[in-house]
């Protein structure tokens, strides 16, 4: 792996170790848009840890983080996009479905990424054009042919919940093998890359740090991620999306669109 991916892995690993110690003692400091969207002291402490590790190696790089006081804009320069705790709502209740997400962008595209998955205590990482890995072993998405074989994660944003549950229930609810809620996009996308989930559906308007690392993990593991119209995600205006292996992707999109 190159120096950037190596740092992403080291950083995600360090963040994961710290968060495992903090999960039982973290304090909620504030609430954002709703009661599930909170900030804990662990969010701020983990972002500080990640930022210090990155700047120690690359002091001229930019950092765009969820908990940053001032957000850098994504441009063609080297920019690290981090989410110290993706799934803080779950983390704050002691539910280990959160993740810590680190991605490096150049020319507005991800080139290295690493995600710590609390659910299985694993760091999944990827390098553009090289593949997706766990502990040095190359991994791939799981390909299933039929919806009734597929385990598809499903997470709606709070303000989309009512509409999302109705649409998902009507279009896919009775067709799938399993439909777990993950509560973390970085975790959901990491689980697809590992071949544990077959798909993942998000209803809402994600922020770039929610998916920055996960996009590269899924694509380098051989998967696909598109918005509901079937187009690649626009990182300047991210919409609801479907991520999955290639074999079942069209069936998931068609079902959601009612085709």
- Residue 85 annotated as lining a ligand binding site: yes
The domain boundary, picked from 139, 162, 182, lies at: 139
Predicted pLDDT at 75: 81
> Do 63 and 132 lie in a common domain?
yes
Predicted pLDDT at 29: 62
Interatomic CA distance for residues 151 and 7, integer angstroms: 32
Q: What letter does residue 160 receive in the DSSP assignment?
A: G
At 120-155, the pLDDT tens digits run 999 999 999 999 999 999 999 999 999 999 999 988
Which of 115, 94, 199 shows the shortest CA–CA distance to 154?
199
For residues 133 and 124, the answer to whether their CB atoms sit within 8 Å is yes
> What mean pLDDT is predicted for residues 155-171?
75
* Residue 138 tokens, joined: 């190359």
CATH label of the domain that carries residue 123: 3.30.540.10
> Do 169 and 188 lie in a common domain?
yes
At 46-55, the pLDDT tens digits run 999 999 999 9
> Do 10 and 129 lie in a common domain?
yes
Under the phi-then-psi rule, with left for phi > 0, alpha for psi from -120 to 50, and beta for the rest, what region is 230? Answer: left
> What mean pLDDT is predicted for residues 152-166?
78
> Do 131 and 153 lie in a common domain?
no
Q: Is the pLDDT of residue 70 over 70?
A: no
Under the phi-then-psi rule, with left for phi > 0, alpha for psi from -120 to 50, and beta for the rest, what region is 12? Answer: alpha
For residues 124 and 134, the answer to whether their CB atoms sit within 8 Å is yes
> Do 213 and 107 lie in a common domain?
no
Q: Which helix (H) or strand (E) holds 201?
A: strand 199-203
> Do 166 and 111 lie in a common domain?
no
At 213-249, the pLDDT tens digits run 999 999 999 999 999 999 998 888 888 999 999 999 9
- Residue 37 annotated as lining a ligand binding site: no
Q: Is the pLDDT of residue 15 over 90?
A: yes
Enumerate residues 6+ apart whose C-beta is below 8 A from 143. Answer: 245, 246, 247, 248
Sheet order of strands, 122-127 included: 62-65, 79-86, 99-106, 109-117, 122-127, 131-134, 137-139
Q: Is the pLDDT of residue 104 over 60?
A: yes
The residue segments making up the domain with residue 114 are 3-139
> Do 20 and 121 lie in a common domain?
yes
Q: What is the mean pLDDT of the chain?
A: 89
Predicted pLDDT at 236: 80
Q: Is the pLDDT of residue 65 over 80?
A: yes
The domain boundary, picked from 139, 169, 197, lies at: 139
> Do 168 and 127 lie in a common domain?
no
Per-residue confidence at 173, pLDDT binned at 50, 70, 90? confident
Interatomic CA distance for residues 83 and 15, integer angstroms: 10
SS3 100: strand
């Amino acid at each position: 792996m190159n120096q950037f991916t190596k740092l992403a892995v080291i950083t995600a690993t360090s963040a994961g170790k710290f968060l495992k110690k903090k999960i039982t003692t973290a304090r909620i400091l504030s609430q954002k848009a709703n009661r599930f969207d909170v900030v804990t002291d662990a969010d701020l402490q983990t972002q500080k840890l990640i930022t210090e590790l990155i700047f120690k190696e690359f002091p001229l790089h930019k950092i765009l983080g969820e908990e940053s006081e001032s957000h850098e804009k994504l441009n063609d320069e080297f920019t690290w996009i981090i989410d110290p705790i993706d799934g803080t709502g779950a983390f704050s209740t002691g539910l280990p479905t959160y993740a810590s997400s680190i991605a490096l962008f150049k020319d507005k595209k991800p080139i290295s990424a690493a995600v710590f998955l609390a659910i299985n205590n694993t760091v999944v990482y990827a390098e553009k054009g090289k593949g997706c890995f766990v502990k040095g072993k190359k991994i791939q998405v799981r390909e299933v042919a039929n919806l009734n074989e597929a385990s598809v994660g499903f997470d709606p944003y709070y303000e989309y919940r009512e509409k999302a549950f109705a649409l998902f229930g009507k279009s896919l609810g009775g067709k799938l093998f399993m439909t777990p809620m993950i509560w973390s996009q970085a975790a959901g996308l990491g689980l697809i890359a590992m071949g544990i989930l077959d798909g993942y559906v998000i209803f809402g308007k994600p922020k770039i740090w929610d998916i920055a690392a996960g996009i590269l993990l899924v694509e380098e593991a051989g998967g696909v991620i598109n918005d509901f119209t079937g187009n690649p995600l626009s990182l300047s205006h991210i919409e609801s999306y479907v991520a999955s292996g290639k074999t079942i992707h069209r069936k998931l999109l068609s079902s959601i669109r009612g085709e």
